[in-house]
Structure 1
Amino acid sequence: MSAKNHRINEQIRIKEVRLIADDGEQLGVVATDKALEMARERDLDLVEVAPNAKPPVCKLIDYGKYKYEMDKKNRESKKNQTQVKLKEIRMQPKIEGHDLQFKSKHVLEFLQEGNKCKVTVRFRGRELAHTHLGKDVLHKVLELLGEENYNLDRAPQMEGRFMSMILSPKAKKK
């Protein structure tokens, strides 16, 4: 639950709440008016931390400080996330050997950066009658990459005039 949608002090309109003191001590089920009074005496706020519990759980804390801590936790968790991008490499069924090696090297670089890669073969005109050539090109790419460098997320498959497969990087062992 984010810090934005907590009910505090007078916003809590239920008869009684389970109260937790600022030091973490359980004070039991208390009438809301009494809990508000205790909060004012200690110069703190009454914050509803678990609204779905029966009765709702409230804490005596400094709301500004609590909100700051929650935002800090959210920023920390976002810092450790990595965005995985889907890169695409396009080829044609009549690709030459050197070009195939060059493009396979790029696919490998994308995978080593931690990105997924979509390898696509585009068929033009009468090439569409020879889709087996496209499948051969995609299998050659897999051979050039080496099995230890990728996971095959989606095997080669036709999508209109394109045949494509999706590769993801192998998980790194720690």
Structure 2
Amino acid sequence: MINEQIRDREVRVIGEDGQVIGIMSSRDALKLAKEAELDLVKIAPQAKPPVCKIIDYGKYRYELARKEKEARKKQKTMEIKEVRLSPNIDTNDLNTKVNQARKFLTHGDKVKVTLRFRGRELAHVEQTKGILDEFAEKLSDIAVIDKPAKFEGRSMIMFLTEKR
């Protein structure tokens, strides 16, 4: 809220140089801001009394946008990479998929390991859970199980994340 939008009886005013001027009515604070040819901006509306600062509003908005942009730049987005397996996978194929998942984990991504069942393979679900356990075992040096193996539709899904 700025200038005339501030409807509080009393506000704590901070000057343009950062000095605390004191508690006064919002009308008086607005007069001070007008004399300095600046805006009265409510900075902390939840405080008792609300805190207002005498600053250039356009400059204030620019600074906020710049800080937000910097925070977004430093933020690391975590992607989910998927590795698909089948119940009758051979050991060398499993090792290849493990190496692929290891590469994803070292880049800082989450890995979704999907064991897909087709046709009659659904009858032997208990025997194939060991494949996901073996997969997690081979990556146990750099990864930890985020979500354990769970059945969803025709596939069993497990999530792995990098150890901290």
- Give the TM-score normalised by the residue count of structure 2: 0.93
Tell me the residue number matched to 1:108: 102
Rounded to whole Å, the distance in 1 between the matches of 2:80 and 2:74 is 20
| 1:160 maps to which of 153, 158, 163 | 153
Structure 1: gaps (5+ residues): 1-6
The residue type paired with residue 130 of structure 1 is: H
Tell me the residue number matched to 1:50: 44
Structure 2: gaps (5+ residues): none
Instruction: Specify the SS of the correspondent of 2:128.
Output: helix
Tell me the residue number matched to 1:144: 138
Instruction: Specify the SS of the correspondent of 1:55.
Output: coil
- Give the TM-score normalised by the residue count of structure 1: 0.88
State the 1:94 CA deviation: 0.5
Tell me the residue number matched to 2:111: 117
Q: Is the 8 A contact 1:120 1:165 kept in 2?
A: yes
| Overall identity of the aligned pairs, in % | 48
CA deviation map 1:86-136 (0-9, x unaligned): 111111111112111111111111111111011111112221121133211
Q: Is the 8 A contact 2:136 2:145 kept in 1?
A: no
Tell me the residue number matched to 2:55: 61
Instruction: Specify the SS of the correspondent of 2:13.
Output: strand
Rounded to whole Å, the distance in 1 between the matches of 2:8 and 2:22 is 15
| 2:78 maps to which of 60, 65, 84 | 84
Rounded to whole Å, the distance in 2 between the matches of 1:68 and 1:125 is 60
What is the root-mean-square deviation in Å for CA atoms of aligned residues? 1.3
Tell me the residue number matched to 2:11: 17
Instruction: Specify the SS of the correspondent of 1:148.
Output: coil
Q: How many residue pairs align between the two structures? A: 164
Rounded to whole Å, the distance in 1 between the matches of 2:101 and 2:156 is 16
Q: Which contiguous aligned blocks of 4+ residues in structure 1 show a shift greater than 3 angstroms?
A: none
Q: Does structure 1 residue 38 correspond to structure 2 residue 38?
A: no
Q: Is the 8 A contact 1:92 1:123 kept in 2?
A: yes
Tell me the residue number matched to 1:8: 2
Q: Is the 8 A contact 1:92 1:134 kept in 2?
A: no
